[in-house]
Amino acid sequence: MAKVIKLTEADLENIVRKVIEEQETQEGVFDPLVNAAQGLKGVWRGEGYDYFKYLSSLRGLTRKLKKLDAPNVKIMTQLTDLKNKVTVSKMPTDKKQNLINTIDKAIAHFNAYSGLINTIEQLASQKLA
């Protein structure tokens, strides 16, 4: 039979924080080596060491940004749901339209940002392939 262990919320937060820190450390250990190898690849292709090294670094950073933005994608879905609720609500038309316009702007800015991050990652990945 499994042993029952009781943890406080603070204990659980500390454990989660340590796991996240260890994971971040492991993910970034080889980044400088990968960037340097890509830089040498750039020299070999005749496009320059720094160009390929920084492209590799840029690709890594965009991937990290996408991981960090995963919760924001959920929030944008929730904003869309909220917009749908506002649309069918019985509030005054001017207030309703103001809320809808504000939510639409937030969603549009996030989508533009996400699109730009995807474009940068694709360009870097294609060049480094």
pLDDT band at 20 (very low <50, low <70, confident <90, very high): low
| Cβ proximity of 31 and 103 under 8 Å | no
The string of pLDDT tens digits covering residues 36-52 is: 666 666 666 667 677 77
Nearest-angstrom CA–CA distance, 40 and 65: 26
Mean pLDDT, rounded, for 13-31: 61
pLDDT band at 97 (very low <50, low <70, confident <90, very high): very high
Q: What is the pTM of this model?
A: 0.59
Nearest-angstrom CA–CA distance, 42 and 52: 5
Query: Domain residue spans in the chain?
Result: 28-128
Which amino acid, one-letter code, is at 99?
L
Assigned token pair, 20: 């996240």
Q: Phi/psi zone of residue 89: left (φ > 0), alpha (ψ -120 to 50 degrees), beta?
A: beta
